[in-house]
């Protein structure tokens, strides 16, 4: 392995088929040489959500071509790689098996080490691909399958401060969208309609607000939105916009409250960190209303806010390749028997929280 570590990454944990090549320099700086993502959105939209069998079949059909494209765009041959990284979980097991098996085959054929990556660690370390970020830092991961606070103490070293006890935030957005007759994925549509709605029209709950922990709950909020819709009966366009705005406002206020507690707990555990970084990752990080919440929190609590670009917040293989590069730099590799996992918490020492979102490993 040279001073410049070159890693092929593969991501197939849900409904994006992705391959990428990244470089990690000796000084820890990262560079994306290629990053190819194929969305399966059109395949799943008619069903209002991800169908695991359809997702796995699409990975099988397209992964070979995407890997070839990523390698071609990087200008590298397989012999020039230093390792092959793939998501080994958590996620939809059929899809994870496709990507991990392909990575094992490439590693075996090329004689390169395999790095089995936790998908959540990919999100957790993405900020370090883009810029220098010192450990420890506070991570807020918000997506369709995950909603949690983690203290990132180092590569492979995580302490969970809080997680959702029912729905993930992105899932809650999608369910409210479906309730209103909007398409899938619903989160972006709820956000767009909320911009012309009245956020004060409907008094929706702020789940767990004031609690002395960092957990989340969105099931009750979703149920309250359903009751509002049922009571309205026939919905006008303005009704839909007002429900979206009221829901988004409730989420934003809840998130601000949960974030305040997370910062308090982080500072208590790491009092020597003067200007800690707050990393927000996952697809829901693109929501502008929530982004304003994070910006205010950063200003009030003295945080360095880092939100990676949207293309690196949603599922992608560059983050998997980077996590692989970070692990390989520490000599952390896996044998070809590394298992695919539906559930794989970052902080295995914490008690699991079941029922938290559709995908495995939320705890």
What pLDDT is attached to residue 266? 96
Cα dihedral 43, 38, 175, 160 sign? positive
Closest of 80, 75, 98 to residue 88, by C-alpha:
98
Three-class SS of 271-303: CCCCCCEEEEECHHHHCHHHHHHHHHHHHHHCC
Q: Which residue has the tokens 């998130």?
A: 255
How would residue 274 be classed by pLDDT, with cut points 50, 70 and 90?
A: confident
Q: Tell me: the pLDDT tens digits for 275-330? A: 899 999 988 988 999 999 999 999 999 999 999 998 999 899 999 999 999 999 99
- Both tokens of residue 118? 């936790």
Q: Which helix (H) or strand (E) holds 259?
A: helix 237-269
Distance separating alpha carbons of residues 37 and 229, to the nearest angstrom? 36
What pLDDT is attached to residue 357? 41
What pLDDT is attached to residue 114? 98
Distance separating alpha carbons of residues 214 and 148, to the nearest angstrom? 8
The mean pLDDT value for 84-99 works out to 96
- Both tokens of residue 30? 């990262």
How would residue 354 be classed by pLDDT, with cut points 50, 70 and 90?
A: low
Q: Tell me: the pLDDT tens digits for 36-67? A: 999 887 888 777 778 888 889 989 999 999 99
Say yes or no to pLDDT of 1 above 50: no
Q: Tell me: the pLDDT tens digits for 228-245? A: 999 998 999 999 999 999
Say yes or no to pLDDT of 356 above 70: no
Give the domains, in start order, of the chain with CATH numbers: 5-131+311-329 (3.30.420.40), 137-310 (3.30.420.40)
pTM of the model: 0.92
**Residue 181: exposure state from Cβ atoms within 10 A (0-12, 13-18, ≥19):** exposed
What pLDDT is attached to residue 360? 36
- Tell me the C-alpha to C-alpha distance, in Å, between residue 137 and each of 89, 143, 147, 160, 226: 23, 19, 17, 12, 37
What pLDDT is attached to residue 46? 77
DSSP secondary structure string, 128-185?
HHHS--PSSEEEEEESSS-EEEEEEEETTEEEEEEEBSS--HHHHHHHHHHHTT--SS
How would residue 2 be classed by pLDDT, with cut points 50, 70 and 90?
A: low
Measured at the alpha carbon of residue 255, what is the angle toward residues 249 and 259, in degrees to the nearest 5? 150
């Amino acid at each position: 392995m040279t001073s410049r570590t070159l890693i092929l990454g593969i991501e197939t944990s849900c409904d994006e088929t992705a391959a990428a090549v990244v470089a990690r320099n000796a000084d820890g700086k990262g560079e994306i040489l290629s990053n190819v993502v194929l969305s399966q959105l059109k395949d799943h939209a008619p069903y209002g959500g991800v169908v695991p069998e359809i997702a796995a079949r699409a990975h099988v059909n397209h992964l070979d071509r995407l890997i070839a494209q990523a390698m071609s765009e990087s200008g590298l041959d397989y012999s020039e790689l230093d390792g092959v990284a793939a998501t080994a979980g958590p996620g939809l097991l059929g899809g994870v098996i496709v990507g991990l098996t392909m990575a094992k085959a490439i590693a075996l054929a090329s004689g390169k080490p395999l790095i089995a990556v936790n998908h959540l660690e990919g999100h957790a370390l993405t900020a370090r691909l883009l810029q220098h970020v010192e450990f420890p830092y506070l991570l807020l991961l918000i997506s369709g399958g995950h909603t949690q606070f983690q203290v990132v103490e180092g590569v492979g070293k995580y302490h969970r401060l809080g997680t959702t006890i029912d729905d993930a935030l992105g899932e809650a957005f999608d369910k409210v969208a479906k309730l209103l007759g909007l398409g899938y994925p619903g989160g972006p549509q709820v956000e767009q309609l909320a911009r012309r709605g009245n956020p004060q029209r409907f008094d929706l709950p702020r789940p767990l607000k004031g609690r002395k922990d960092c957990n989340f709950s969105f099931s009750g909020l979703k149920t309250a939105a359903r009751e509002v819709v049922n009571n309205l009966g026939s919905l006008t366009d303005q009704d839909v916009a007002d429900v979206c705005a009221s829901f988004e406002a409730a989420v934003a206020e809840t998130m601000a409250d949960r974030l305040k507690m997370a910062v308090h707990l982080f500072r208590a555990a790491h009092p020597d960190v003067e200007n800690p970084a707050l990393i927000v990752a996952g697809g829901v990080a693109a929501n502008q209303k929530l982004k304003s919440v994070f910006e205010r929190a950063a200003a009030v609590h003295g945080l360095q806010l880092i939100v990676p670009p949207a293309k690196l917040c949603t599922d992608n293989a560059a983050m998997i390749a980077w996590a692989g590069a970070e692990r390989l730099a520490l000599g952390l590799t896996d044998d070809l028997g590394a298992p695919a996992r539906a559930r794989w918490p970052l902080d295995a020492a914490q008690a699991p929280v079941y029922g938290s979102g559709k995908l495995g490993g939320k705890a």
